[in-house]
Amino acid sequence: MGHEIKKYKMLIGGEFVNAASGKTREICDPGNGKVVAIVPESSKADIDAAVSQARAAFDHGPWRQTSALDRGKLLFKIADGIRARAAKLAELEVLSCGKPLAEAEYDIADAANCFEFYAGMATKIHGETMQVPANSLSFVVREPIGVCGQIVPWNFPMLMTSWKLAPALAAGNTCVLKPSELTPLTALDLAEIIVEAGIPAGVVNIVTGPGPGCGDVLSAHPQVDKIAFTGGTNTGRQVMAAATGNLKKVSLELGGKNPNIVFADADFEAAVDGALFGAFANQGEVCSAGSRLLVDRKIHKKFVEAMLKKIPNIKLGHGLEEGVKMGPLVSRQHLEKVEGYVAAGISEGAKLVCGGKRPSDAALAKGNFLEPTIFDDVTPAMKIAREEIFGPVLSVIPFDTEEEAIQIANDTEYGLAAGVWSTNINRALRVVRELRCGITWINTYHPTFNEMPWGGYKQSGSGRELGLYGIEAYLEVKQVNINLDEAPIAWY
Ligand code: NDP
């Protein structure tokens, strides 16, 4: 894999530029530690420059005068640009965040679909006419919020970038987007696509740099009207606190400790597949990962055995290698954090039934690999059942009754996603009704549709992305009242 080391610039005010300080950062392949690209390492001065460009583009630029139809056409062009470069984008995603190529290809295709979904939405942002108790014509118009700061994590870099930019642009906002310092490459390639599509200068600015020093500056910036963040719950708390200075609008997509509940009447084979895919897709580095597997005690032992039989099919390796089903974790630091959870599971008495260690294959030693790991007989109080691990570690918790399953499922500070497996649709719907979370799947796990709202209850976030709901997060609401009575009101 002899890839050239590309030196990237970032996009500020329609120009591709270096960081003001001239500092750079090496982006490393988590599969082997090799440097794959060099990107600008920004600081406050670059965020300030990007925000001022986005501000000017919103307040005085041509974007405000660009019709919804034309905004939509530009977004369709971005989707076409993504498709034209899909193979390269997928490869870059593998080289920076580690996921297997097939998963990266899926993400890139879905990113193009997301731009198309919101391209179509641009002309469907409607107002409403209200019946008011007066001789007045009153209506509501929806307008863009203004300058949007957008902070994106490392687990789905291109997809999360698209979920942020597409609705914001469809609604007529301008944006300053900061990808994760670990995985900025596809966002920088997207910057080229955005310029080629003809988006006016300053409307989209993509700034690369660290969370502390860039992300926090963006969250606190007095000239930013809205901040949209996807990442860990603790960082989300900091973003929300930083946003209070100018009371900017905040939307947060945060972590999860999601229950995947298997009843004894489930389609057994489908549920086994769904449990493994829910836990191990994208190395388990997924906010909606089904990391707590709640299994009816009547089938529990048989179910764990069936999962173990399939574990050898999860081929570990570099994401660009043929047949690989699980890549490395994003960084050495993150691998060590996940290993810390494995140690906690063992010391708290959970039964490690597979994995828990780095692979013995010497060819993988330089990558951040961890074998797919299953703990059985986990109790709800254990750390591995409570905290988001964000790696390939599945905690199996047996239950005896439907009520107990619901109680365990909801016994968490999070409320992002949940799965229910049962051939009894009445039971499945009854359980879904009780679950305190924003995304639920019945007899499946993980499918995510651009058309459907994505987001969490409780400490899994605030607001929704995607679907018709996702555009609301980028719109202000203005009421307009027209007096139809020609006589003076004669109050004084
Ligand atoms: P973070 O939440 O820190 O990272 C997400 C994004 O926020 C990145 O762009 C990061 O930048 C940025 N960021 C970091 N600190 C700040 C800050 N103070 N203000 C504004 N932006 C900031 O996640 P980590 O990478 O540290 O991972 C920690 C844990 O968070 C994971 O183990 C996992 O549990 C969870 N997580 C959840 C995600 C989700 O999809 N819900 C995604 C990623 C992580 P940079 O990376 O450049 O530091």
pLDDT tens profile 395-422: 999 999 999 999 999 999 999 999 999 9
Q: How much distance in Å is there from the Cα of 232 to the middle of ligand 1?
A: 5
Q: Is the pLDDT of residue 321 over 70?
A: yes
Q: 230 CA distance to ligand 1 centroid (A)?
A: 7
Predicted pLDDT of residue 134: 83
Q: 440: buried, middle or exposed (CB in 10 Å: 19+, 13-18, 0-12)? A: middle
65-122 tens-digit pLDDT: 999 999 999 999 999 999 999 999 999 999 999 999 999 999 999 999 999 999 999 9
Q: Copy the structure tokens of residue 417.
A: 């996603």
Beta strand ranges found along 120-203 (DSSP E): 128-130, 136-144, 147-151, 174-178
pLDDT digits (tens, 9 = 90+) for 175-186: 999 999 999 999
What is the rounded average pLDDT of the residues 260-282? 98
Q: Which residues are catalytic?
A: 253, 287
183-197, 245-259, 381-395, 477-491: least confident range = 477-491
**Mutation test of ligand 1: which of 150, 235, 287, 393 has the most ligand atoms closer than 8 Å to its C-beta?**
235
pTM: 0.97
- Flag whether pLDDT at 1 surpasses 60: no
C-alpha span between 207 and 220 (Å, rounded): 16
Q: Write out residues with Cβ below 6 Å of ligand 1.
A: 151-155, 178, 180-182, 210-212, 215-216, 219, 230-232, 235, 238-239, 253-255, 287, 388, 390
- Ligand 1 centre distance from Cα of residue 30 (Å): 17
Report pLDDT for 3. 61
Atom of ligand 1 nearest to the CA of 182: 46
How much is the average pLDDT of 290-301? Answer: 98
> Measured from the CA of 152, which atom of ligand 1 is nearest?
9
What percent of the chain lies above the pLDDT cut of 90?
A: 97
* Residue whose CA lies nearest to ligand 1 atom number 11: 211
The pLDDT of 23-52, averaged and rounded, is 98
Cα of 119 vs centre of ligand 1, distance in Å, is 28
**Which residue has the CA at smallest separation from atom 21 of ligand 1?**
215
pLDDT above 90: residue 353 = yes
- DSSP letter string, 9-45: -EEETTEEE--TT--EEEEE-TTT--EEEEEE---HH
Q: Of 151, 474, 37, 454, which Cα lies nearest the Cα of 286?
A: 454
> pLDDT at residue 254 above 90?
yes
Closest residue to atom 26 of ligand 1, CA basis: 232
State in Å: Cα 242 to ligand 1 middle: 15
Averaged confidence pLDDT in the chain:
97
pLDDT recorded at residue 2: 54
483 pLDDT more than 80 = yes
Tell me the residue type at 336.
E
Is 372:311 a contact under the CB 8 Å cutoff?
yes
User: Residue 360 has what DSSP assignment?
Assistant: S
Confidence class for position 486, pLDDT limits 50, 70, 90:
confident
Structure tokens at 91: 């490869």
Mean pLDDT of 283-307: 98
Q: Report residue 472 as tokens.
A: 């609301």
Distance CA 452, CA 470 (A): 9
Instruction: Report the SS3 class of residue 253.
Output: strand
Q: Strand 204-206 relative to strand 174-178: parallel, antiparallel, unpaired?
A: parallel
> pLDDT, tens digit, for every residue of 2-15?
567 999 999 999 99
- pLDDT band with cut points at 50, 70 and 90 for residue 489: confident
Percent of the chain topping pLDDT 70:
99
